[in-house]
Amino acid sequence: AFATVPSQPITSLALADGSRVEFWANVASPNEAKAAASLGVAGIGLLRSEMLFLGATQAPTEVEQIERIQELLQAAGQRPVILRVLDAGADKSFPFLRLGAEPNPALGLRGIRVLERRPDFFRSHLRALLRAGVGYDLRLLLPMVTIVQEVARTRQLLERLHAELSAEKIPHLWPVSLGIMVEVPAVALKIQDFVPLADFFSVGSNDLGQYTWAVDREQGDLGEIEASGRAALLDLCALVAQQKQRPVSVCGEAAADPSMARAFIARGIRRLSVAPALIPALAHALRESDIPDA
Ligand code: PEP
Ligand code: MG
Protein backbone atom coordinates (compact mmCIF):
# COMPACT_ATOMS: atom_id res chain seq x y z
CA ALA A 1 0.00 0.00 0.00
CA PHE A 2 2.95 2.28 -0.52
CA ALA A 3 4.26 4.14 -3.51
CA THR A 4 6.93 6.73 -3.94
CA VAL A 5 7.59 9.58 -6.33
CA PRO A 6 11.35 10.07 -6.14
CA SER A 7 11.49 13.49 -7.81
CA GLN A 8 12.14 15.27 -4.50
CA PRO A 9 13.43 12.36 -2.41
CA ILE A 10 14.47 14.46 0.56
CA THR A 11 11.60 16.83 1.03
CA SER A 12 8.67 14.48 0.81
CA LEU A 13 7.39 11.03 -0.05
CA ALA A 14 4.15 10.16 -1.80
CA LEU A 15 1.87 7.57 -0.22
CA ALA A 16 -0.37 5.19 -2.12
CA ASP A 17 -3.44 7.14 -0.97
CA GLY A 18 -2.18 10.20 -2.85
CA SER A 19 -1.11 12.10 0.24
CA ARG A 20 2.48 13.10 0.94
CA VAL A 21 4.69 12.88 3.97
CA GLU A 22 6.75 16.03 4.29
CA PHE A 23 10.11 16.25 5.98
CA TRP A 24 10.81 19.44 7.89
CA ALA A 25 13.94 20.20 9.88
CA ASN A 26 14.66 20.77 13.57
CA VAL A 27 17.42 23.34 13.93
CA ALA A 28 19.10 25.17 16.77
CA SER A 29 21.75 27.32 15.07
CA PRO A 30 22.38 29.26 11.85
CA ASN A 31 24.70 26.47 10.63
CA GLU A 32 22.01 23.85 11.10
CA ALA A 33 19.53 26.15 9.35
CA LYS A 34 21.92 26.33 6.39
CA ALA A 35 22.26 22.53 6.36
CA ALA A 36 18.48 22.23 6.28
CA ALA A 37 18.22 24.78 3.46
CA SER A 38 20.78 22.92 1.36
CA LEU A 39 18.78 19.69 1.75
CA GLY A 40 15.82 21.54 0.30
CA VAL A 41 13.45 20.75 3.17
CA ALA A 42 9.87 22.03 3.07
CA GLY A 43 10.50 24.21 6.08
CA ILE A 44 12.00 24.52 9.53
CA GLY A 45 9.53 22.63 11.68
CA LEU A 46 11.19 23.49 14.98
CA LEU A 47 13.63 26.30 15.52
CA ARG A 48 14.81 25.94 19.10
CA SER A 49 15.46 29.57 20.04
CA GLU A 50 17.51 28.79 23.14
CA MET A 51 20.77 29.53 21.31
CA LEU A 52 19.68 33.15 20.90
CA PHE A 53 20.20 33.60 24.62
CA LEU A 54 23.15 31.36 25.50
CA GLY A 55 25.60 33.02 27.84
CA ALA A 56 23.39 36.09 28.30
CA THR A 57 23.72 37.33 31.88
CA GLN A 58 21.38 40.25 31.16
CA ALA A 59 18.19 40.05 29.15
CA PRO A 60 19.08 40.79 25.51
CA THR A 61 17.46 43.96 24.25
CA GLU A 62 14.72 43.86 21.64
CA VAL A 63 17.19 45.06 18.99
CA GLU A 64 19.79 42.44 19.92
CA GLN A 65 17.14 39.75 19.63
CA ILE A 66 16.02 41.04 16.23
CA GLU A 67 19.58 40.82 14.88
CA ARG A 68 20.05 37.24 16.03
CA ILE A 69 16.63 36.10 14.87
CA GLN A 70 17.22 37.59 11.43
CA GLU A 71 20.54 35.78 11.17
CA LEU A 72 18.63 32.52 11.65
CA LEU A 73 15.86 33.47 9.25
CA GLN A 74 18.35 34.43 6.56
CA ALA A 75 20.18 31.11 6.99
CA ALA A 76 16.92 29.21 6.51
CA GLY A 77 16.25 30.86 3.16
CA GLN A 78 12.76 31.67 1.93
CA ARG A 79 10.83 28.84 3.52
CA PRO A 80 8.43 28.60 6.46
CA VAL A 81 10.19 28.79 9.82
CA ILE A 82 8.39 27.67 12.96
CA LEU A 83 10.26 29.37 15.77
CA ARG A 84 9.59 28.18 19.27
CA VAL A 85 9.59 31.02 21.77
CA LEU A 86 12.16 30.57 24.50
CA ASP A 87 11.70 27.20 26.21
CA ALA A 88 13.48 27.81 29.50
CA GLY A 89 13.18 25.91 32.76
CA ALA A 90 15.23 24.92 35.78
CA ASP A 91 16.93 22.36 33.50
CA LYS A 92 17.60 24.89 30.71
CA SER A 93 18.26 27.93 32.83
CA PHE A 94 19.26 31.40 31.63
CA PRO A 95 20.79 33.69 34.26
CA PHE A 96 18.77 36.73 33.21
CA LEU A 97 15.52 34.90 33.95
CA ARG A 98 16.62 34.28 37.56
CA LEU A 99 14.93 30.88 37.82
CA GLY A 100 15.52 29.19 41.13
CA ALA A 101 16.60 25.58 41.48
CA GLU A 102 13.67 23.17 41.62
CA PRO A 103 13.54 19.70 43.14
CA ASN A 104 11.73 18.44 40.05
CA PRO A 105 12.43 20.69 37.05
CA ALA A 106 10.45 18.56 34.61
CA LEU A 107 7.28 19.28 36.58
CA GLY A 108 7.87 22.89 37.45
CA LEU A 109 8.27 26.20 35.68
CA ARG A 110 9.04 25.50 32.03
CA GLY A 111 8.24 27.04 28.65
CA ILE A 112 5.12 29.20 28.62
CA ARG A 113 4.91 28.99 32.44
CA VAL A 114 8.25 30.79 32.70
CA LEU A 115 7.43 33.37 30.00
CA GLU A 116 4.18 34.36 31.70
CA ARG A 117 6.09 34.94 34.94
CA ARG A 118 8.65 37.18 33.22
CA PRO A 119 6.26 39.57 31.43
CA ASP A 120 8.87 42.20 30.54
CA PHE A 121 11.04 39.65 28.83
CA PHE A 122 8.05 37.91 27.16
CA ARG A 123 6.90 41.24 25.72
CA SER A 124 10.33 42.12 24.34
CA HIS A 125 10.77 38.60 22.94
CA LEU A 126 7.45 38.67 21.09
CA ARG A 127 8.01 42.24 19.88
CA ALA A 128 11.44 41.21 18.55
CA LEU A 129 9.92 38.21 16.77
CA LEU A 130 7.15 40.27 15.15
CA ARG A 131 9.68 42.87 14.02
CA ALA A 132 12.26 40.34 12.79
CA GLY A 133 9.65 38.40 10.83
CA VAL A 134 8.83 41.11 8.28
CA GLY A 135 9.38 39.59 4.84
CA TYR A 136 9.67 36.03 6.15
CA ASP A 137 7.20 33.19 6.60
CA LEU A 138 7.80 33.12 10.35
CA ARG A 139 5.36 31.24 12.57
CA LEU A 140 5.46 31.13 16.37
CA LEU A 141 5.26 28.04 18.56
CA LEU A 142 4.50 27.97 22.31
CA PRO A 143 6.31 25.36 24.44
CA MET A 144 4.85 23.39 27.36
CA VAL A 145 1.28 24.52 26.95
CA THR A 146 -1.08 22.73 29.36
CA ILE A 147 -4.34 24.73 29.45
CA VAL A 148 -6.20 26.90 26.95
CA GLN A 149 -5.86 30.02 29.10
CA GLU A 150 -2.11 30.12 28.39
CA VAL A 151 -2.75 30.30 24.66
CA ALA A 152 -5.62 32.78 24.96
CA ARG A 153 -3.49 35.15 27.05
CA THR A 154 -0.59 34.91 24.59
CA ARG A 155 -2.95 35.76 21.73
CA GLN A 156 -4.20 38.79 23.66
CA LEU A 157 -0.63 39.86 24.34
CA LEU A 158 0.23 39.56 20.63
CA GLU A 159 -2.82 41.69 19.79
CA ARG A 160 -1.68 44.35 22.24
CA LEU A 161 1.85 44.33 20.84
CA HIS A 162 0.48 44.64 17.32
CA ALA A 163 -1.55 47.69 18.39
CA GLU A 164 1.48 49.17 20.12
CA LEU A 165 3.85 48.63 17.17
CA SER A 166 1.23 50.04 14.79
CA ALA A 167 0.89 53.16 16.96
CA GLU A 168 4.68 53.49 16.96
CA LYS A 169 4.64 53.02 13.16
CA ILE A 170 7.14 50.17 13.46
CA PRO A 171 6.93 47.58 10.67
CA HIS A 172 6.09 44.10 11.94
CA LEU A 173 4.74 40.75 10.85
CA TRP A 174 0.95 40.70 11.13
CA PRO A 175 -1.16 38.63 11.30
CA VAL A 176 1.13 36.00 12.78
CA SER A 177 0.51 32.28 12.87
CA LEU A 178 0.59 30.86 16.40
CA GLY A 179 0.84 27.14 17.12
CA ILE A 180 1.41 25.08 20.23
CA MET A 181 3.64 22.19 21.23
CA VAL A 182 1.69 19.12 22.29
CA GLU A 183 3.98 17.76 24.98
CA VAL A 184 1.65 17.45 27.96
CA PRO A 185 -0.97 14.65 27.81
CA ALA A 186 -3.71 17.07 28.96
CA VAL A 187 -3.41 18.92 25.64
CA ALA A 188 -3.72 15.78 23.52
CA LEU A 189 -6.73 14.64 25.56
CA LYS A 190 -8.49 18.01 25.14
CA ILE A 191 -7.16 18.82 21.67
CA GLN A 192 -10.55 19.99 20.41
CA ASP A 193 -10.54 22.81 22.99
CA PHE A 194 -7.28 24.11 21.53
CA VAL A 195 -8.45 24.16 17.90
CA PRO A 196 -10.01 27.66 18.11
CA LEU A 197 -6.82 29.06 19.67
CA ALA A 198 -3.97 27.35 17.81
CA ASP A 199 -3.18 27.57 14.10
CA PHE A 200 -1.16 24.34 14.15
CA PHE A 201 -0.01 21.58 16.48
CA SER A 202 3.49 20.22 16.89
CA VAL A 203 3.84 17.03 18.92
CA GLY A 204 6.97 17.06 21.08
CA SER A 205 7.31 13.34 21.61
CA ASN A 206 10.33 13.71 23.91
CA ASP A 207 8.31 15.47 26.56
CA LEU A 208 4.98 13.85 25.68
CA GLY A 209 6.64 10.48 26.31
CA GLN A 210 8.18 11.60 29.58
CA TYR A 211 4.84 12.86 30.88
CA THR A 212 2.87 9.87 29.59
CA TRP A 213 5.13 7.27 31.18
CA ALA A 214 6.27 9.25 34.23
CA VAL A 215 9.84 8.60 33.10
CA ASP A 216 12.43 11.38 33.25
CA ARG A 217 13.66 11.82 29.67
CA GLU A 218 17.23 12.02 30.99
CA GLN A 219 16.85 8.69 32.81
CA GLY A 220 18.49 5.99 30.72
CA ASP A 221 17.48 2.90 32.67
CA LEU A 222 13.83 2.58 31.90
CA GLY A 223 13.95 1.59 28.25
CA GLU A 224 11.52 -1.26 28.72
CA ILE A 225 8.78 1.14 29.78
CA GLU A 226 9.46 3.32 26.76
CA ALA A 227 9.47 0.34 24.39
CA SER A 228 6.26 -1.15 25.77
CA GLY A 229 4.66 2.20 26.40
CA ARG A 230 4.80 3.38 22.81
CA ALA A 231 1.21 2.35 22.17
CA ALA A 232 0.01 4.83 24.79
CA LEU A 233 2.08 7.63 23.27
CA LEU A 234 0.75 6.78 19.82
CA ASP A 235 -2.85 6.84 21.08
CA LEU A 236 -2.29 10.41 22.27
CA CYS A 237 -0.81 11.32 18.88
CA ALA A 238 -3.84 9.77 17.19
CA LEU A 239 -6.12 12.08 19.22
CA VAL A 240 -4.16 15.08 17.94
CA ALA A 241 -4.27 13.86 14.33
CA GLN A 242 -7.99 13.03 14.47
CA GLN A 243 -8.97 16.67 14.54
CA LYS A 244 -8.75 17.73 10.91
CA GLN A 245 -8.98 21.51 11.26
CA ARG A 246 -5.31 22.15 12.04
CA PRO A 247 -2.06 20.78 10.59
CA VAL A 248 -0.09 18.43 12.85
CA SER A 249 3.59 17.63 12.87
CA VAL A 250 5.77 15.50 15.11
CA CYS A 251 9.05 17.16 16.05
CA GLY A 252 10.39 14.92 18.83
CA GLU A 253 13.27 12.50 18.36
CA ALA A 254 10.86 9.61 17.72
CA ALA A 255 10.01 11.15 14.33
CA ALA A 256 13.49 10.16 13.10
CA ASP A 257 13.04 6.51 14.11
CA PRO A 258 11.66 4.73 11.03
CA SER A 259 9.39 2.38 12.95
CA MET A 260 7.93 5.23 14.98
CA ALA A 261 7.68 7.41 11.89
CA ARG A 262 5.66 4.67 10.18
CA ALA A 263 3.37 4.53 13.22
CA PHE A 264 2.86 8.32 13.16
CA ILE A 265 2.08 8.21 9.44
CA ALA A 266 -0.38 5.37 9.98
CA ARG A 267 -2.19 7.62 12.47
CA GLY A 268 -2.59 10.33 9.86
CA ILE A 269 0.43 12.52 10.60
CA ARG A 270 1.93 13.84 7.37
CA ARG A 271 4.67 16.14 8.62
CA LEU A 272 7.79 14.90 10.39
CA SER A 273 10.37 17.36 11.65
CA VAL A 274 13.81 15.94 12.45
CA ALA A 275 17.44 17.01 12.65
CA PRO A 276 18.76 17.74 9.13
CA ALA A 277 21.54 15.16 9.50
CA LEU A 278 18.92 12.43 10.01
CA ILE A 279 16.61 13.29 7.12
CA PRO A 280 18.35 11.37 4.30
CA ALA A 281 18.43 8.11 6.28
CA LEU A 282 14.82 8.52 7.37
CA ALA A 283 13.64 9.24 3.84
CA HIS A 284 15.57 6.20 2.61
CA ALA A 285 14.17 3.90 5.29
CA LEU A 286 10.60 5.05 4.69
CA ARG A 287 10.89 4.76 0.95
CA GLU A 288 11.78 1.11 1.31
CA SER A 289 9.06 0.33 3.76
CA ASP A 290 5.44 -0.56 3.48
CA ILE A 291 3.40 2.08 5.26
CA PRO A 292 -0.01 0.93 6.39
CA ASP A 293 -2.99 3.02 5.37
CA ALA A 294 -4.09 5.55 7.95
C1 PEP B 1 10.01 17.53 22.60
O2 PEP B 1 9.74 17.68 23.80
O3 PEP B 1 9.78 16.49 21.96
C4 PEP B 1 10.66 18.64 21.85
C5 PEP B 1 10.77 18.57 20.54
O6 PEP B 1 11.15 19.69 22.57
P7 PEP B 1 12.55 19.61 23.37
O8 PEP B 1 13.20 18.30 23.01
O9 PEP B 1 13.32 20.80 22.94
O10 PEP B 1 12.06 19.66 24.78
MG1 MG C 1 9.94 19.63 24.75
What ligand has the least distance to the C-alpha of 84?
Answer: 1
How do residues 20-63 score in pLDDT, each as one tens digit? 999 999 999 999 999 999 998 999 999 999 988 988 889 999 99
The pLDDT confidence band at residue 215, using thresholds 50, 70 and 90, is very high
- What span, in angstroms and rounded, lies between the C-alpha atoms of 147 and 158? 18
For residue 141, how far is its CA from the centre of ligand 2 (angstroms)? 11
Q: For the chain, give me the number of helices (H) and strands (E)?
A: 11, 9
> Mapping DSSP to helix (H, G, I), strand (E, B) and coil, where does residue 177 land?
strand
What's the full length of the chain, in residues? Answer: 294
Which of 85-89, 100-104, 178-182, 229-233 is predicted least confidently?
100-104
Contact 286, 261 (CB under 8 A): yes
For residue 171, how far is its CA from the centre of ligand 2 (angstroms)? 31
Residues with CB under 6 A from ligand 1: 46, 48, 87, 183, 204-207, 251-252
CB atoms under 10 Å from CB of 63, counted, come to 10
For residue 230, how far is its CA from the centre of ligand 2 (angstroms)? 17
pTM score, two decimals?
0.94
- What span, in angstroms and rounded, lies between the C-alpha atoms of 86 and 99? 14
Mutate to test the pocket of ligand 1, among 47, 48, 208, 260 (most ligand atoms within 8 A of CB): 48
> Mapping DSSP to helix (H, G, I), strand (E, B) and coil, where does residue 163 land?
helix
- The answer to whether the bond into 143 is cis (omega within 30° of 0) is no
Contact 91, 81 (CB under 8 A): no
For residue 272, how far is its CA from the centre of ligand 2 (angstroms)? 15
| Residue 211, C-beta contacts closer than 8 angstroms, at least 6 positions apart | 106, 183, 184, 185
Contact 46, 276 (CB under 8 A): no
Q: Across residues 96-125, what is the average pLDDT?
A: 95
> Mapping DSSP to helix (H, G, I), strand (E, B) and coil, where does residue 222 land?
helix
Given the cut 0.90, state whether the ipTM is greater than it: yes
